[in-house]
Amino acid sequence: MTPPLVECIPNFSEGRRMEVVDSIAAAISAVAGVRVLDRHSDADHNRSVITFAGPPAAAAQAAFAAIARAAELIDLDQQRGEHPRIGATDVVPFVPLSGVTMEECVQLARALGERVGRELQIPVYLYEAAATRPQRVNLEDLRRGEYEGLKTAILSDLDRAPDFGPSRLGKAGATVIGARAPLIAYNIYLTTNDVEVAKGIAQAIRHSSGGMRYLKALGLLVEGRAQVSMNFTDFTRTPLARVTEVIRREAERYGVAVDHAELVGLVPQAALIEAAQWYLQLDQFRPDQVLETRLYAAGAESGTARQEFLDDLAAGTATPGGGSAAAYAGAMAAALVAMVARLTVGQKRYAAVEGRMAAIVAEADRLRAAQAESVARDSRAFEAVMAAAKMPKSTPEEAAAREAAIEKSTHQAAEVPLEVARQAVATLDLAVEAAGDGNRNAFSDAVSGASLAQAALRAAGMNVRVNAETVSDRRAAQRWLGELEALEAQAGKAAEALEALIRERRVPG
């Protein structure tokens, strides 16, 4: 029987403050059974999309946690960006993946909407398959007037009254929640900065203006280029390749060309296969001719994600690097601690420590999720440093902006591994406790977890020290180094306690 699995792709009105996006992602990752699959942030849009999947109840809980965290951290009165929006958490769609029907996703969306309206006092509108009336099916209709317009309209216009929650907007705005089929967010950049060209092309191709079915499009200015921003609501009927060629021809009418394209979030493999089949004219192509598809069918993909991380780590690129590896080791350490504690809970001979072991399970799971998230966070932090270093510096103003960007990004590049170090020491303390009081048959696993936590601390500490050397803010650098020394001292005491336990067990060193 296929296990029930739901995809959720919430969009947040923040794409510039990565610490805010990190906090929201962490709230999602902290829910057991949920896996974050992808993150995409755009500074010009001032928008981030986080894709995650899990069992229906867990996915709904993760979505609620994310909405609550975004409401705390994002103020729509201050937020500005190219992308239309009405809320801090702007839209939350559920997509059935396996073992779940569209109707079940509709019920999931409605239950979440009721909870958000009741507990968070955020107005909620239902859309797509979950919509309660025809005029609310399309997201663009609900976003009409954006946050600023809705702030007034919601007070008196009955047509703008929310499905759940109060008829007034706070700083978190409103949230649109629904259920839909898989959607592809696909953008094409043009070789011009004239946004009117992109707007003209968008108007020509989108369905609402008489263009192609199952296609929504806007013309925006992003990263200094005109962008045609699109959503494909059914790629099987309006394929990516066909739309790309239409845009190419429309661009030629304006004397410009397609510069490049991008995907926002994830895309079904079938959409890319269809595009490749169309462009390469592979008329007799079969999907099972894809090597990876054949491997997956043969059950040979177990451990692929882990292997991909190791391949990326071994590649000749700056990221992922030592900081990501430290977080990965920390996550494995926490996983081993949770394992030992779980092997202890429910055993009669350990009844006296069952309550504490259950608490260790919960804390170790939390640390594992946080460390797993830091694997990617560390890479993003260092990539930001490299991007800042590439900024222009030909004028004093440009040089000053570059220096400020390097300083800011280096602070983040130090603070991420410092957090990894904190979590590694917390994991080490739990490992020692599990080794002393947990299931004696899993003693070696507890010691292994402690060893990995020590390695994570050492590797993360090296990254903190290297970044502390380069920042101009010496007070911040000394604060980091002072905390790191305190953590290392705490880890030293834990290591001594662990060695005593090893000697007591007479395990050869």
Q: What is the predicted pLDDT for the residue at 305?
A: 57
| Of 484, 355, 342, nearest in space to 421 by CA | 484
Q: How would you label 443-465 residue by residue, b for 16+ Cβ within 10 Å and e otherwise?
A: bebbbbbbbbbbbbbebbbbbbe
Q: What is the predicted pLDDT for the residue at 301?
A: 44
| DSSP assignment of 266-313 | ---HHHHHHHHHHHHT-TT--GGGSHHHHHHHTT--TTHHHHHHHHHH
CATH 3.30.70.670 occupies which residues in the chain?
184-267
β-strand pairing of 47-54 with 5-8:
antiparallel
Whole-angstrom distance, CA of residue 504 vs CA of residue 506: 5
Per-residue pLDDT of the chain (509 residues; tens, 9 = 90+): 457 899 999 999 999 999 999 999 999 998 988 999 889 898 888 999 999 999 999 999 999 999 999 999 999 999 998 889 999 999 999 999 888 899 999 999 999 999 999 999 999 999 999 999 999 998 989 999 999 999 999 999 999 999 999 999 999 999 999 999 888 999 999 999 999 999 999 999 999 999 999 999 999 999 899 999 999 988 888 999 999 999 999 999 999 999 999 998 788 888 888 899 999 998 888 777 877 666 665 544 445 556 667 877 887 777 888 999 999 999 999 999 999 999 998 888 999 998 899 889 989 988 998 898 888 888 888 888 888 888 888 899 999 999 999 999 999 999 999 999 999 999 999 999 999 999 999 999 999 999 999 999 999 999 999 999 999 999 999 999 999 999 999 999 999 999 999 988 865 55
The edge-to-edge listing of strands for the beta sheet with 184-190 is 215-222, 225-232, 184-190, 258-264
CATH architecture, domain defined by 304-505: Up-down Bundle (1.20)
pTM for this structure? 0.54
Residue 167 DSSP class: S
For residue 177, how many other CB atoms are within 10 A of its CB?
A: 31
For residue 82, how many other CB atoms are within 10 A of its CB?
A: 18
Length of the chain: 509
Tokens linked to 392? 């222009």
CATH tag for 5-179 (out of 3.20.20.100, 3.20.10.10, 3.30.990.10, 1.10.3720.10) = 3.30.990.10
| Of 402, 400, 337, 397, nearest in space to 366 by CA | 337
Distances in whole angstroms, Cα of residue 42 to Cα of each of 18, 46, 319, 333: 10, 6, 20, 34
Q: Where are the alpha helices (DSSP H) in 390-473?
A: 396-437, 443-470
Residue 341 DSSP SS3: helix
Instruction: Give backbone dihedrals phi and psi of 239, rounded to 5 degrees, phi first.
Output: -75, 160
Q: How would you label 492-507 residue by residue, b for 16+ Cβ within 10 Å and e otherwise?
A: eebbebbeebbeeeee
Tokens linked to 219? 């013309």
CATH 1.20.120.680 occupies which residues in the chain?
304-505
Residues 467 and 460 sit within 8 Å (Cβ to Cβ): no
CA angle 141, 96, 267 (to 5 degrees): 75
Q: What is the predicted pLDDT for the residue at 283?
A: 84
Q: Where are the alpha helices (DSSP H) in 36-175?
A: 56-73, 102-115, 139-142, 146-156
* Residue 506 exposure: Cα atoms within 13 Å on the Cβ side: 0
Instruction: Give backbone dihedrals phi and psi of 464, rounded to 5 degrees, phi first.
Output: -60, -45
| Of 357, 344, 487, 333, nearest in space to 421 by CA | 487
Whole-angstrom distance, CA of residue 13 vs CA of residue 48: 7
Distances in whole angstroms, Cα of residue 390 to Cα of each of 193, 293, 383, 387: 22, 39, 11, 5
Residues 105 and 6 sit within 8 Å (Cβ to Cβ): yes
Hey, CA dihedral for 5, 11, 17, 23, is it positive or negative?
negative
Q: How would you label 286-309 residue by residue, b for 16+ Cβ within 10 Å and e otherwise?
A: eeeeeeeeeeeeeeeeeeeeeeeb
Q: What is the dihedral of CA 79, 83, 89, 93, to 10 degrees?
A: 180
Whole-angstrom distance, CA of residue 483 vs CA of residue 468: 12
Whole-angstrom distance, CA of residue 485 vs CA of residue 487: 5
From the CA atom positions of the chain, what is the Rg in Å? 25
Distances in whole angstroms, Cα of residue 455 to Cα of each of 75, 311, 445: 40, 20, 15
By annotation, the residues acting in catalysis are 83, 378
CATH 3.30.990.10 occupies which residues in the chain?
5-179
Amino acid at 36: V
CATH architecture, domain defined by 184-267: 2-Layer Sandwich (3.30)
Hey, CA dihedral for 464, 467, 469, 472, is it positive or negative?
negative
